[in-house]
Amino acid sequence: MAKLILLRHLQSQWNKENLFSGWTDVPLSAEGVESAPSTAQKMSGEKIDEVFTSPLSRNKNTTFLVLENLGKKAFFLAPAEKADLATNSLPVYITDTLNERSYGLLEGMNKGEVKKEFGEERTYQWRRAWDVPPPEGESLKDVCDRAVPFYQNFIEPELKAGKNVLVVASHNSLRALAKYIENIPNEEIINYEIPFGGMTIYDLDENLKVKNKEVC
């Protein structure tokens, strides 16, 4: 009936430097920009009707670059806006509900140094567990509480209407959506990871249940 594509942003400068980014607005690295054509190639055969992303530069710029390499122009809008677009343009709806999780006091810190100071297990829990937030930051559960209602209210109606939707977002906002879409148990989501430029393509039935899943 419809396809949903989840795409993690390309490598950012702080990803390259192994720093916690969170809500800090970090640009793409040169390597991230250079990887845009190969990332776009992975979805070159897919029809895309609408795109959703967050206002963070690494997400918006990934969207712009990937669409540009697909011969499309990104036309950025608020979620409730509509516009008459040129044939080669795609509506890209911006919402901060798709932002990365807040890493609180860890933002800007080196991940290796955090492991040394707090231990590998605690650091891993902060980064991947379901309901363990970093100091003054968000847990994955917190991200689900903002990302999933947006998905239900704005993206699901488009999918039910038969539109193919691309979501370009950050690691934990995509993990939150994948958890909801695939009904991943709380204790198993800790193992779910998406690389930079990683993509999951879902074929959905009329009830938005997953008929087929492709990871690339």
Q: Which residues of the chain have pLDDT under 70?
A: none
The predicted pLDDT at position 137 comes to 98
Q: What is the mean pLDDT of the chain?
A: 96
Max distance between CA atoms of the chain, in angstroms, equals 53
Q: What is the pLDDT of residue 149?
A: 98
Residue 107 φ then ψ, to 5°: -60, 130
Amino acid at 203: D
Q: Which residues contact 211 (CB under 8 A, 6 or more apart)?
A: 203, 204, 205
Give the per-residue pLDDT at 173. Answer: 98
pLDDT for the residue numbered 18 = 98
Where do the domains of the chain lie? 2-215
Which residue in 17, 31, 34, 100 is the catalytic one?
100
The reported pLDDT for the residue numbered 126 is 96
For position 81, what pLDDT does the model report?
84
List, for residues 191-211, the tens digit of each pLDDT value: 999 999 999 999 999 999 999
Chain segment 137-156, per-residue pLDDT in tens: 999 999 999 999 999 999 99
Please give the CATH topology (third level) of the domain spanning 2-215. Answer: Rossmann fold (3.40.50)
Query: Does the annotation mark 171 as catalytic?
Result: no
Using the structure block, give the residue that is written with the tokens 């100091």. 135
Scanning the chain, the segments in alpha helix (DSSP H) are 13-16, 30-34, 36-41, 57-69, 111-118, 120-128, 140-150, 156-160, 171-182
